Structure 1
Amino acid sequence: MALNILDSRSLLTGLGAFGVFLVMFAETGLLIGFFLPGDSLLFTAGVLAATGALGGGSSLLTLMIAAAAGALIGAQVGYVIGRRGGTALLKRINRPSVNEGVERASKLLEKYGHGKAIMLARFIPVVRTVLNPLAGIVEVPARTFAIWQILGGLLWTVGVILAGYALGSSVPNIDTYLLPIIAVIVLVSLSPLLLEFYRSRRAKRTS
């Protein structure tokens, strides 16, 4: 079966921990990776680690190390890209989802400050892709960015993988329910963006 980079299970059975590293790096470090399945991949990785269905002989520990390494290195690369000309790059990527992500990331930075915004962004699809270069563009201090992106990156990657592992260990034949579970995870991860869209539409109607 051909490898499908948009299918979490295909990535994990085909590439194991190495696939997790690649997706985490691309989604958090390269703007072209905004469409990749970050949350569902991490959760599925935990589930498959519990059921022994991972490819490449990957273990739970190697999964967590690969995910954390990809997310942390990727975020730093994204920050450096932002510092060295990210404004032009963001303008050249003419995608509505990316533009909305930039707007949302800017609001997070303005509302919560650097630390909280960098941590919260890890749990919001697209926003976690664009916030790193945006932090470089607005010149968030390098030390501040590094500290908070490490804390947020570890909490996100390790936490979601362990949640999947716990569910996979406690529910018999979890593979049967994997697709609907992933669908729920995607909906939950998109809920902050959907809520923000609803609020903006409501504000326009009342203004």
Structure 2
Amino acid sequence: MGKFCYNDPYTFMFHIDIESILVSFGIIGVAAIVFAESGLLVGFFLPGDTLLLFAGFFAAQGKLPLGWLLLATVIAAIVGDNVGYSIGRRTGHRIFKKEDGVFFHKKHIMRAEKFYEAHGGKTIVLARFLPIVRTFAPLVAGVGKMPRKRFMAFNVLGALVWGVGVTLIGYFIGGFVEPDTIEKFILPTMLIVMLGTFGPAIYHILKDEETRKALSAKLRLWKRNLFLNKKVD
């Protein structure tokens, strides 16, 4: 099978070669990244969705045991979110006073907080499918003192839906495709996963009346400028 790097946006943006991670570290590498993405505040840039998709491809080709892959993914996701929640419980609102750094930006926490205010406990499940938000959602839940039992219920549900769901998408598609031609299906599959990932975020943004008005105003301004430029030409 050829390299994924040409079609994988994370390799392009962050120089993270997902295939090399899977070949070199296998299930341990998958579990470590899934944990770090939600358990460490600096893990927001890690390729969780993409990694699980490609891990599913590998499992379909017999390179990774599917059962152990799913188990490790779900456990890592649950533990990672629980660590993020515990950090939020301990630091409280002091986390909002932390200065921005290379890997830490308060705007990410504010975004997760706004999403949490809109969706409550369901945020822990929905955030699994939202890059960046999923890293900080457990933290915000901890800061907000969500009861631990309630958090764990949403945490386990989200880990199952996301960890099993995304991995099985890659697994089932990999089962229908010959290994030598799988590269042709990577980009379309990535687009489908990205649509599912960013769809809830787009819906959440457009549902806000102020955001819709701002976008509408910008669109009208853009059309007006475009018309004036054509008129000048």
Same-fold call, TM cutoff 0.5:
yes
Residue 92, structure 1, aligned to residue 82, structure 2: no
Change (3 A) 1:28 1:86: farther
- Measured after TM superposition, the shift of residue 87 of structure 1 is 3.7
**Distance of 2:140 and 2:67 partners within structure 1:** 32
Partner in structure 2 of residue 180 of structure 1:
187
RMSD: 2.9
Partner in structure 1 of residue 198 of structure 2:
190
**Distance of 1:197 and 1:6 partners within structure 2:** 29
Q: Is the 8 A contact 1:7 1:37 kept in 2?
A: no
Out of 112, 123, 128, the residue aligned to residue 105 of structure 1 is 112
Q: Deviations over 1:61-83 (max 9, x none)?
A: 11111111110000000000011
**Distance of 1:96 and 1:16 partners within structure 2:** 26
Q: Is the 8 A contact 2:56 2:66 kept in 1?
A: yes
Partner in structure 2 of residue 40 of structure 1:
50
Partner in structure 2 of residue 168 of structure 1:
174
**Distance of 1:205 and 1:125 partners within structure 2:** 22
Partner in structure 1 of residue 227 of structure 2:
none
**Distance of 1:187 and 1:7 partners within structure 2:** 22
- Size of the alignment, in residue pairs? 201
Residue 10, structure 1, aligned to residue 20, structure 2: yes
Change (3 A) 1:127 1:45: same
Unaligned runs of 5+ in 2: 1-13, 218-233
Out of 128, 136, 142, the residue aligned to residue 130 of structure 1 is 136
Partner in structure 1 of residue 146 of structure 2:
140
SS in 2 for 1:165: helix
**Distance of 1:95 and 1:202 partners within structure 2:** 31
**Distance of 2:100 and 2:147 partners within structure 1:** 25
Residue 156, structure 1, aligned to residue 178, structure 2: no
SS in 2 for 1:79: helix
Q: Deviations over 1:123-167 (max 9, x none)?
A: 111111000111100111111001111111111001111111110
**Distance of 2:213 and 2:38 partners within structure 1:** 31
Unaligned runs of 5+ in 1: none
**Distance of 2:162 and 2:66 partners within structure 1:** 15
- Measured after TM superposition, the shift of residue 31 of structure 1 is 0.7
Partner in structure 1 of residue 231 of structure 2:
none
Asked which structure has the greater CA Rg, the reply is 2
The code of the aligned residue for 2:153 comes to: I
The code of the aligned residue for 1:17 comes to: I
Q: Is the 8 A contact 2:116 2:140 kept in 1?
A: no
Percent sequence identity over aligned pairs: 37
The code of the aligned residue for 1:92 comes to: E
